[in-house]
Amino acid sequence: MLPPESVQVKTKFAQYDVYRDSDKRLKLAKNFLESKFSRTQLVLDWLKQRYPEINTDFSNELPNLKKGKTIPEIMMLEGRIARFYWQEFAKIIPEKFEFS
C-alpha cells in the first residue's frame, strides 16, 4: 500500500535544494505571493459587491513584487497587502465587535 520510497524524504530534499538556491527561493516566494494577491483581489472584489465602501485597489503595490530582489523585501510587501486587506475587511464588521 505504501510507495517503495517515502515521498516525504524526496519532498524534504527538494525543499532543501530550493532553500540553498537564493534565485529559486526568491522565485518561489514571488509565485506564492502572486497567488495570494490574486486570491486577495478576488475576496475584495466579492466584498465590494456587497459593501460599496470596500476599496479593492492595491495595484500600486504589485509592481514592487516584480522589482523585489530579496526575501525581506517580498515579506514586507506581503505585510503591506495584508494590512490593506484587513483594514478593508474591518469596514464590514460592526463596531460593537471592536474588530481591529
pLDDT of residue 12: 86
Per-residue pLDDT of the chain (100 residues), as tens digits, is: 566 666 688 888 888 898 899 999 999 999 999 999 999 999 999 999 999 999 999 888 889 988 999 999 999 999 999 999 999 999 999 999 988 8
Distances (CA, A) of 68 to 5, 51, 71, 74, 91: 38, 33, 8, 6, 30
pLDDT of residue 5: 64
Number of domains in the chain: 1
Position 22 in a domain = no
pLDDT of residue 99: 87
Position 83 in a domain = yes
The single residue listed with the C-alpha cell 495595484 is 59
Position 56 in a domain = yes
Position 21 in a domain = no
Position 89 in a domain = yes
DSSP string, 65-94: HHH--SHHHHHHHHHHHHHHHHHHHHTTS-
Position 12 in a domain = no
Position 24 in a domain = no
Position 16 in a domain = no
pLDDT of residue 6: 65
pLDDT of residue 46: 96
Containing domain of residue 92, as a range? Answer: 29-97
